[in-house]
């Protein structure tokens, strides 16, 4: 990020940022400040559009949304924790090198002693000298053995530490790809999986499809019942989507109340059937508000369907599914529409 505004503009943006943070009841931490400053200053058009879309649907943004937007626009990976792993691995490598150098020095010294004894034996092979050599040889062998044993023991310990780091790193990667609210994959993961699926589809001359899904009238639910209920509804919808797809299919929380489903090896007809199953399942949900068991309004979802076409980029298939979703919204909601030819 490069900031080259004048002091007066920077001060004005500061005032706007703090006012925006206060209006949305956010904690004024560096992450909130960064996202809100970029929004009010208009420096990042894509970020501003994403914040505006959330505001239109939710009236305000909360800390969870701010975190999602920050990760989407500013964080490639979990930088801080990745840095910790890098430092841990660096320390292990340094310690291994030190132990190997120390042990290797002991082994080299042992070899030097053996060579010296051989030379003495050649020049003066009498019993007294031989006795001294045997005593010294036993001592030297013991020391070399200790050095080798110490190295072996340490390498076993290092292997255990490395395995532990590997497990933690896998967990870090998994956490970075998961949406915190629903447990589904996040938008960043979708980008990677779309590229992989497209490459595989081209090689195998296959097909795949994509669903874009959006909860209907979600803004009204938030206005009437608040964001906590809104979050619960998003979680229930995410779970329904996950239960309606195969193990090879991928459910993603695209952002806010929007979801995406990637359907490998699935034609547009097959994808439409999956979409209809999801739509009808969500329509049948009966949600209540605890602890008074107040019935919540019926939740419905609109869906757009697209299928891979030759020479598609990842954005092409998303845009066609998004247009189909818009068609569902315009046609009355709670329905499935396929991409236009």
Active-site residues, by number, are 257
Q: What are phi and psi of 253, to 5 degrees?
A: -85, 110
User: Tokens 């992450």 identify what position?
Assistant: 31
Query: Which residues are CB-neighbours of 322 under 8 A, at least 6 positions away?
Result: 212, 304
User: How many residues make up the chain in this entry?
Assistant: 341
DSSP labels for 280-341?
HHHHT---EETTTTEEPPPP-EEEEEEE--TT--HHHHHHHHHHHHHHHHHTTSSSEEEPP-
178: which DSSP letter? Answer: B
Pairing mode of beta strands 208-215, 301-307: antiparallel
| 232: Cα separation from own chain's centroid | 22
User: Tokens 């190997």 identify what position?
Assistant: 100
Would you state the structure tokens that stand for residue 63, as one six-digit string? 């800390």
Whole-angstrom distance between the N-terminal and C-terminal Cα of the chain? 41
Closest by Cα among 8, 15, 57, 6 to 36: 15
Would you state the structure tokens that stand for residue 309, as one six-digit string? 């076409």
Contact 304, 337 (CB under 8 A): yes
Alpha helices in 59-126 (DSSP H): 63-74, 79-123
Would you state the structure tokens that stand for residue 190, as one six-digit string? 């979708």
């Amino acid at each position: 990020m490069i900031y080259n505004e004048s002091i007066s503009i920077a001060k004005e943006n500061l005032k706007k940022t703090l006012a925006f943070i206060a209006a949305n009841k956010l904690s004024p931490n560096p992450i909130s400040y960064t996202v809100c400053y970029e929004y009010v200053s208009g420096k990042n058009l894509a970020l501003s559009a994403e914040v505006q879309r959330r505001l239109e649907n939710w009236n305000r943004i909360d800390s969870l949304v701010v975190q999602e937007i920050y990760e989407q626009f500013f964080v490639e990976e979990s930088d801080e924790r990745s840095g910790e792993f890098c430092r841990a691995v660096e320390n292990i490598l340094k310690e291994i090198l030190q132990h190997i150098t120390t042990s290797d020095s002991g082994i080299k010294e042992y070899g030097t002693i053996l060579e010296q004894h051989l030379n003495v034996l050649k020049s003066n092979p009498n019993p007294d000298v031989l006795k001294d050599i045997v005593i010294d040889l036993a001592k030297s062998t013991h020391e070399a053995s200790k050095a080798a044993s110490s190295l072996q023991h340490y390498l076993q310990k290092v292997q255990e530490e490395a395995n532990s780091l590997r497990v933690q790193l896998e967990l870090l990667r998994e956490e970075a790809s998961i949406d915190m609210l629903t447990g589904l994959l996040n938008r960043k993961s979708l980008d990677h999986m779309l590229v992989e699926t497209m490459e595989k589809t081209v090689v195998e001359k296959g097909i795949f499809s994509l669903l874009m899904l959006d909860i209907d009238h979600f803004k009204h639910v938030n206005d009437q019942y608040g964001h906590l209920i809104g979050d619960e509804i998003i979680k229930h919808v995410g779970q329904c989507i996950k239960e309606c797809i195969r193990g090879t299919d991928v459910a993603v929380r695209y952002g806010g109340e929007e979801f995406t489903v990637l359907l490998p090896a699935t034609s547009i007809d097959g994808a439409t059937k999956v979409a209809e199953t999801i739509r009808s399942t969500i329509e049948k949900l009966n949600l209540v508000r605890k602890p008074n068991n107040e019935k919540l309004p019926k939740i419905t979802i609109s869906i757009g369907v697209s299928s891979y076409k030759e020479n598609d980029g990842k954005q092409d298939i998303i845009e066609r599914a998004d247009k189909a979703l818009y068609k569902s919204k315009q046609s009355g909601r709670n329905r499935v529409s396929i991409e236009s030819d």
